[in-house]
């Protein structure tokens, strides 16, 4: 079984939630991935950087901010769907034009 270790800012909240096991993929996901940092590290900084065509340092820096750039949504969404990780649209900076 492969386990995805994602550093979480609030470990107690993560442990308080149950772990969901997807037996088909043999992957364990923590139910509390609610920050950009959690998502980026669950997917892997280098993998995200390669998919985006960005430097890993820029991806690491963005993971520490409140929101990720909206232009990254499609790539990260595709990566999350492949790994069956739920991705919230609230983790991205969406501009409101008006």
CA-to-CA distance for 54 and 52, rounded, in angstroms? 5
**Number of structural domains found in the chain:** 1
Provide the pLDDT for residue 34.
82
Query: Domain for residue 39, yes or no?
Result: yes
Which among 42, 31, 30 has a CA at the least distance from the CA of 80? Answer: 42
Query: Domain for residue 92, yes or no?
Result: no
The predicted model scores a pTM of 0.65
Q: Which domain holds residue 70?
A: 2-87
Query: Domain for residue 42, yes or no?
Result: yes
Query: Domain for residue 96, yes or no?
Result: no
Provide the pLDDT for residue 13.
44
**pLDDT per position in the chain (98 positions), as tens?**
444 555 555 444 444 344 444 444 444 455 556 899 999 999 999 999 999 999 999 999 999 999 999 999 999 999 999 998 889 899 999 887 66
């Amino acid at each position: 079984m492969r386990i995805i270790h994602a550093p979480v800012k609030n470990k107690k909240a993560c442990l308080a939630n149950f772990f969901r096991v997807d037996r088909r993929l043999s992957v364990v996901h923590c139910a509390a991935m609610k920050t950009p940092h959690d998502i980026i590290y669950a997917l892997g900084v280098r993998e995200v950087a390669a998919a985006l065509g960005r430097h890993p340092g820029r991806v690491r820096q963005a993971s520490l901010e409140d929101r990720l750039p909206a232009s990254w949504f499609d790539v990260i969404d595709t990566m999350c769907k492949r790994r069956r990780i739920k991705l919230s649209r609230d983790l991205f900076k969406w501009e409101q034009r008006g």
